[in-house]
Amino acid sequence: MTDTLGLTCYRCGATATFPDSKRCDCGEPLWFDTESEDFGWPESVGREGDGPGRTSGPWRYADLLPVEHREGVGSAAGDTPLVRANGLDDYAGCRLWLKDESENPTGSFKDRGSAVGVAWAAAAGREWVGTVSHGNMAISVSAHAAGTDAECVVLVPDDISTERLTAIAQYGPEVLRIAGDYGRLYYDTLETDSPVEFVNSDTPLRVAGQKTTALEICEAFARRGAVADRAAPDAIVVPTSSGGHASASWKALRELEAAGLLGADSLPRLYFVQAAACDPIAQAYREGADEVTATTADETVAYSIANSDPPSGTRALAAARETGGAVLSVTDDEILDAKARLAEGAGFCVEPASATSLAGIRKLTESGDLAADDEAVAVLTGTGFRELGDAGTDPETVDLDDLPERLRALTE
């Protein structure tokens, strides 16, 4: 745990303290000032020796976090598999790895930020914790608040579907439908005198937890010798909405650089992928702009990353450029094709938003930004089992007595 809760702005270098501030006077988001030359990879690895004081998941990186581990569902966050998907190499156009964040307790990477955010709120004696979300983040914060002394409130749009309400409500939070400009809620809930500690998409607590995705990826390469002559992957590719997870990935790399665990020759390039129907960060990248501006959004299958006014968009833009990466967009057809390939070619069921990472990698290899021998990690941010719907299949019916003959015909 850090000695102080100091914050810094990546852009202007201004400092502040948490929880008094969450955004800089220059307008950009703040993050915890945890870069240190003294950080090293933890001695214990993975989930060995679980129990009180365990060092698994986000808590393995306690020296880079603003709070100590607390028991509860947060103990199950992180430590997600990093899988070599060689069966998809031809499709991806490079050596493909998959970081499966669906293995988190509620099925998405949001559990990393929720684990840290709720732990801090509980340790600080906050009576209420909350979030602005109608998807994975709402489910995650509600789950992590369950079983703690803190009450939870979730603010959702007034047109939320019954299915989503059911998924959120099972954990017992207070759910409030908000009529009006839902986009304003992110900023309105960051008021420091609020009785609720809101752990929104790119707040310092959430970024602190979500940076552990990239920390785990880099540690896996460093520890297991995933590639004998490389300390880290060539590229980490992340589906991007608010820019919070993108920013967190950059924060992780900055901390590893400061600690001497990544050199200039081993720094992964960060690529962020958006749906073409709603891609304000990618648009700013294409236009060579210094800042991301709000756009209009059309409907997309990747609705969970359709954020037309991303609060950390400019920071994500800087992250891509500073690491030699890029921000790109992919069409719905490309997303659905990648989703199908992940299921049929590798056995991973992901939500459409998650498939954007693989669709993005395919596009990057086609453009020459990634080479065939590059090691690229596609972050699969969330499970697809919550939204399968009607797959449109109509399996053949076979009489039991006819099964042997049918199997012979099938296998021939």
Whole-number pLDDT of residue 230: 65
Among candidate residues 318, 244, 242, the one with its CA nearest the CA of residue 284 = 318
Can you tell me the mean pLDDT for 305-318? Answer: 96
Architecture per CATH, 78-106+207-387: 3-Layer(aba) Sandwich (3.40)
pLDDT in tens, 183-239: 788 888 887 778 899 999 999 999 999 999 999 999 999 987 655 556 799 999 999
CA dist 228 and 81 (Å) reads 19
pLDDT in tens, 148-193: 988 999 998 888 888 889 999 999 999 998 887 777 888 888 877 7
Q: What radius of gyration do the chain's Cα atoms show?
A: 21
Helix residue ranges, H only, 323-380 = 332-346, 352-366
- Per the CB < 8 A criterion, the answer to whether 335 and 275 are in contact is yes
Query: Residue 394's pLDDT band (boundaries 50, 70, 90)?
Result: low
Question: What pTM value is reported for the model?
Answer: 0.92
Whole-number pLDDT of residue 373: 96
Task: Kindly list the domain boundaries of the chain, sorted by start residue.
Answer: 78-106+207-387
pLDDT in tens, 28-80: 999 999 999 999 998 765 554 444 444 688 999 999 999 998 888 999 999 99
Query: Residue 396's pLDDT band (boundaries 50, 70, 90)?
Result: confident
Can you tell me the mean pLDDT for 284-295? Answer: 97
Dihedral of the alpha carbons of 112, 113, 114, 118, in degrees to the nearest 10: 120
CA dist 329 and 277 (Å) reads 9
Tell which wins on pLDDT, 412 or 341.
341
pLDDT at 378 over 60: yes
